[in-house]
Amino acid sequence: MGINGIRPGWPAPDRVHALVTTRAGGVSEAPYDSLNLGEHVGDDPARVAENRRRLQALVPVEPCWLNQVHGTTVLDADTWSGGLMDADAVVSRRAGRVCAVMTADCLPVLLCDVAGSVVAAAHAGWRGLHGGIVEATVAAMDVPPSSLVAWLGPAIGPDAFEVGEEVRQAFMSHTPQAARAFRATATPGKWMADLYALARLRLAALGVARVHGGEFCTHADATRFFSYRRDGVTGRMASLIWLD
């Protein structure tokens, strides 16, 4: 089985290309089966290297991989000279630079402008989303937010992401409207959180009106997606975007 991946369904300019890998098409063995792209999850390094080699055939250059720390640092891929950098988003204005984030429940957010002059990828778990990774990424793109198009990739869905009251309060203290992204469970103090809705709220507040995607659930679809919350020890998918 080869790497097909998911191509975002969004009105991006012709020179913008994007791809999200699934767990199919690699050589890793369970529980990383099979296209695990994460070097930090306990998989055989040689198998990860082969998986990345297979991905390389679909993109123009080696992706700009990040050491994701659930923070708000955005790396400029155009000045990147190699090495693993602590960051949770990456931006590029140069053709052939591949921005990439890895996820296994957290939300990947891909962005471009309608002119096709800049692209970005952000890793938005709830901590990064609350901390401002979306805002930091949009700021780093340095174009009017109204000119941006966003696509929300595969993440844990609203029927699977249970959080505590402290998470709900954290989001509501920033954005009162975030209350509608949480649904009470039968357990007092526990809520089902909708990462997609929370991201849409943040993007809307910035003036990003063209937002697509958000129809996946990594937790529910074990055939296509890795899920840390479902499996604990598992692999990582990649969401990639670049200009030609």
79 occurs within a structural domain:
yes
pLDDT at site 200: 98
CATH number at residue 100: 3.60.140.10
- Percent of the chain predicted with pLDDT > 70: 99
pLDDT at site 81: 86
3 occurs within a structural domain:
no
For the whole model, what pTM was predicted? 0.97
pLDDT at site 83: 87
Cross-strand bridge partners of residue 37: none
pLDDT at site 63: 95
| pLDDT averaged over every residue in the chain | 97
pLDDT at site 2: 66
192 occurs within a structural domain:
no
pLDDT at site 141: 98
pLDDT in tens, 181-236: 999 999 999 999 999 999 999 999 999 999 999 999 999 999 999 999 999 999 99
Neighbours of 142 (CB within 10 A): 11
Number of domains in the chain: 1
32 occurs within a structural domain:
yes
136 occurs within a structural domain:
yes
pLDDT at site 3: 80
204 occurs within a structural domain:
no
2 occurs within a structural domain:
no
Residues of the chain with pLDDT under 50: none
Distance of alpha carbon 228 from alpha carbon 226, whole angstroms = 7
pLDDT at site 4: 80
Closest by CA position to 31, among listed 236, 239, 238 = 236
81 occurs within a structural domain:
yes
Distance of alpha carbon 135 from alpha carbon 45, whole angstroms = 34
Range of the domain at 236: 16-159+209-243
Cross-strand bridge partners of residue 237: 103
Length of the chain: 244
